[in-house]
Structure 1
Amino acid sequence: MMFWKRFIGVFTARNLEFLRDKESLSWNLVFPLVLVAAFAFLFDSDDRTIVSVGVVHELAQEVAQEQVDNDHTIRVPEFASLSFVEQVPYTNREQALRRLQQHQLDLVIAPAEQRYWLNESSPGSALAAELLTARSDAYTQEILTGQALRYVDWVLPGILAMNLMFSCLYGVGYVIVRYRKNSVLKRLQATPLSAFEFLLAQVASRVWLVIVTLIVVYLICNAIFSFVMEGSYLLLILLAFLGSLCISALGLLIAARTRSEELSRGLLDFVAWPMLLLSGVWFSLDSSPVWVQQFAQIFPLTHLLAAARAVMFDGAGLVEILPQIMILLAMTLAFLLLGARLFRWIGDGR
C-alpha cells in the first residue's frame, strides 16, 4: 500500500510540474502542428524531377549476370544509361507494389520474370512504362490502381514520432539530471521512496502525457488535412505507448549517473539527432545504401515508424507488426534493466 502512495505522490508531482511549465506544454502542442502545416503547403506536390522504379529481385538467381551491379544489386539494363531514373531494389514484391499503388514509385519491374507493373492513375507511371517499352518489348505489362499518398500523409507519423522522441528523451533524461544537480534526488534519497518507484513514476508520467499530446495533435491535424488511415487506431495508440516507453527508458539510461546538464544535453543530442536523420522521419530509406538501412535498425524510432506506417498506409494488423513490437519490448527491457542497475541518486557511483 505504501508503494502506491509513494508512487502516486511522485507521479502527481511530476504531472503538475509539466502542466505548470506553459512554455514546454505549448511547444509540445504547437511545434508539430506548425511542422505538419508547413509540409502540407510547401512540399505537397506531384512534380518529380526523377522517375522512381522499384526493382524486385526475389528470384535473383534467375537474373542474367549483366543485370547485377558490382554491389550485387539487381538493376534493369534498359534504364542503366538514364541518369534521371532511380532504381530502388526490393526483396519484397508486395511492399514494392504497395509503394506503386500509393504513387511512391512510378513502376515496379521483376527482371527475372520479364514483367512490370504500372499504376494507371499515375502520370509518372505512364511515363516510366513508355521509357521501358521504347527500349525493350520483352516485358509483360500488369496494371494496378490505388490512392495517391500525399507527402503530408507520409511524413505525419515521422513528425509525431519526432515529437515523441524529443519529449521522452529530454522529459525523462534531462529532468533527472536537473533533479540530481539541484539536489532534489539527494533529498528524495532520504525518504522511503525507492529508486525503482521514483524511476517508474517518471517514466509513467512522461508516457501518458506524450500519448495524450499525440492524440490531440493527430485529431487537430486530421480534422484539417484528412489523413490516410487504413488500419486500427487502437494499434496506433499501442505503438505510441510502446515507443514512448522505450525512448523514455533510453533517456533514463543516459541520465542514470550524469550530474552535468551540459554533458547530459550533449549525450541526448548525440542519440537524438542520428535517430532523427536515419530512422525515416523525413524520407524513406528504401533507396538508401544497404549499410544505412542496417545501421538504422539499432534505433527504436526506426521500428516504431515502420510499424506505424504499415498500420496507417497498408492496413497492417497485430500479426504483421509483431516483429517491430517485440523489438521495442526487448529494447525497453534492456534499457530499463541497465538504467536501473546504473542509477545513482547523487551520481559519481553513489
Structure 2
Amino acid sequence: MRPFLALLSADVRHFVRDRIALFWMLAFPILLMLLLGFVFGGDEEPVKLRLGVVLGGQGPAFQGLLEGLHHVPVISEVHTGTLEEELSALRARKRDGVLVVPADLPKALRAGNEVNFKLYYDASRSTTYQVLMSVIQEFLARSEEYLTRRERRFRLETEPVQVRHLRPIDYQVPGILAMALMQLGLFGAGGTLVARREGGVLRRFWAAPLSPGLFASSFIAHTLIVSLVQTALLLATAAAVFHVAVLGGYALLVGVVVLGALCFTALGYMIAAFARSAEASSALLQAINFPMMFLSGIFWPLEWMPGILRQVAWIFPLTYLGDALRQVMAGASPLVPLWLDAAVLGAWALIPALIATHFFRWE
C-alpha cells in the first residue's frame, strides 16, 4: 500500500506543478462553459418541424386537415399513427409534436360546436414548442375559417410529454463535462505516459521494484481524482452562474463520471502503447479528439447534423458519455437507454485496456 500511495502522491504533485495541465484540465472547461452559456444562452429556433397526427376517424374533414398540414412550409414531415405510436416517436425525438384530431370533428362542424384539438409536445425543447404552437394555432385558425365560415370554434389544448424544461446551458454543461473527461483521459493519461517514456522516467520505474499493475493503478487513481475535481469545479460554477442542477442524483453522476474517465484513460493508454514519440502521440490524440468533440452531439443535438454524420456519431464513446450525463444531470430525453450507454462505455474501457496491457512498452 505504501508504494501505491507514494506513486499516487508523486503523480498528484507533478500535476499540480504543471500549470499548463492545470489550465487545460480544470480552468479551460469552465471558461468554455461560461463562453457558451453567455453567447449561446438563448434558444435556437428549428427550421423545420416533424409532426405526428392522430386522426379520430376517416372522412373528408379529417383528410382535408391532413392534406392542409402537408402544405404548411414550416412542417417538413407529417406522420399518422395511433396515439401510442406517435407519443413513442415523440419521446424518441423523432417528432417535434403530436396533434390529436378528435373523433367528433365532422359532427361538431355540422352542429357549429367547439372542436377540441390536443397538441403533445416535448417541454425540454422550449423554442421548438413555441414555434410549433404558433404554427398549429395559425393552421387551425385558417382551416376553421375555410371549413365553417363562422366565429372561432376550434380550441387547442397542449400537454407536455416531458415536464422538465431544458435551456441550452442545461444541454451544454453535460457536454462540456464529457469533453473535459475525454481530454483528461487522452492527453492527461496518454500524452503524459509518452512524455515520461521519452524522458526516461518509465525506465526508472521499470528498474524499481514496482509491478506494472501497481504503477497503472496509481496513475488511474490519480486520473479519477482529477476527474472528480473537474466535475466538482464545473458543477459548482454552473450552479452559481447559470443555476444548473443535477436531477438524477450525485451518486449516479459520480458513477457515470468514473466510467467515462476510465473509458478515455484506457483509450489514452492504448495510444501511448503504440506511439513511438511525443509528436506521434500528439498527432494520434488530436486525430481522435477533434472528430469526437464535434461529431458526438455534446454541443448540439445529433438531429441537427446531416444523416451520414449522425451515423458516424454512434461509433464514438463520447456520444454515449454525453448522452448518459445529459440523462443523469438534466433529465433529457435519451438517445439510448442509460444501461446501454454504460455498457458501451464499459466495452470502450475494457478493450483498449487489454490492448494497452499487451503492447505497452517501458522504453
Tell me the TM-score normalized by structure 1: 0.78
1:345 to partner: Cα distance: 0.9
CA contact (8 A) 2:185 2:268 kept: yes
Q: Measure, in 1, the Cα distance between the counterparts of 2:222 and 2:86.
A: 40
Which residue pairs with 2:40 in the alignment?
43
2:13 paired with 1:8: no
Matches within 5 A, 1:20-99: 20-46=17-43, 48=45, 50-53=47-50, 84-85=74-75, 87=77, 93-94=87-88, 96-97=90-91
2:135 paired with 1:128: yes
Q: Measure, in 2, the Cα distance between the counterparts of 1:306 and 1:110.
A: 30
Secondary structure at the counterpart of residue 143 of structure 1: strand
Matches within 5 A, 1:167-182: 167-182=184-199
Secondary structure at the counterpart of residue 48 of structure 1: coil
Secondary structure at the counterpart of residue 158 of structure 2: strand
Comparing 192-201 with 270-279, greater Cα deviation is found at 192-201
CA contact (8 A) 1:15 1:205 kept: yes
Comparing 277-286 with 260-269, greater Cα deviation is found at 277-286
2:278 paired with 1:261: yes
2:104 paired with 1:107: no
Amino acid at match of 2:326: R
1:267–1:46 CA distance, 2 compared to 1 (3 A)? closer
Matches within 5 A, 1:228-239: 228-239=245-256
CA contact (8 A) 2:190 2:269 kept: yes
1:197 to partner: Cα distance: 2.2
2:165 paired with 1:144: no
1:49–1:246 CA distance, 2 compared to 1 (3 A)? closer
Amino acid at match of 2:261: S
2:169 paired with 1:166: no
1:323–1:110 CA distance, 2 compared to 1 (3 A)? farther
Root mean square deviation, CA, Å: 3.6
Which residue pairs with 1:70 in the alignment?
none
1:117 counterpart (109, 120, 124)? 120
Q: Measure, in 2, the Cα distance between the counterparts of 1:84 and 1:19.
A: 53
Name structure 2 gaps, 5 residues minimum. 55-65, 80-84, 104-116, 148-153
CA contact (8 A) 1:173 1:251 kept: yes
Secondary structure at the counterpart of residue 53 of structure 1: strand
1:320 to partner: Cα distance: 4.8
Which residue pairs with 2:63 in the alignment?
none
CA contact (8 A) 2:239 2:245 kept: no
- 1:196-241 Cα offsets, whole Å, 9 max, x none, are 2222222221122111121122112212211154322211111000
Amino acid at match of 1:130: Q
- 1:120-157 Cα offsets, whole Å, 9 max, x none, are 98432322313554687899966214453211111111
Matches within 5 A, 1:264-303: 264-303=281-320
Q: Measure, in 2, the Cα distance between the counterparts of 1:273 and 1:130.
A: 43
Which residue pairs with 2:218 in the alignment?
201
Amino acid at match of 1:50: V
Larger radius of gyration: 2
2:322 paired with 1:305: yes
Which residue pairs with 2:62 in the alignment?
none
Using the aligned pairs only, state the percent identity: 31
Q: Measure, in 2, the Cα distance between the counterparts of 1:78 and 1:204.
A: 61
Secondary structure at the counterpart of residue 274 of structure 2: coil
Secondary structure at the counterpart of residue 344 of structure 1: coil
CA contact (8 A) 1:117 1:141 kept: no
Which residue pairs with 2:266 in the alignment?
249
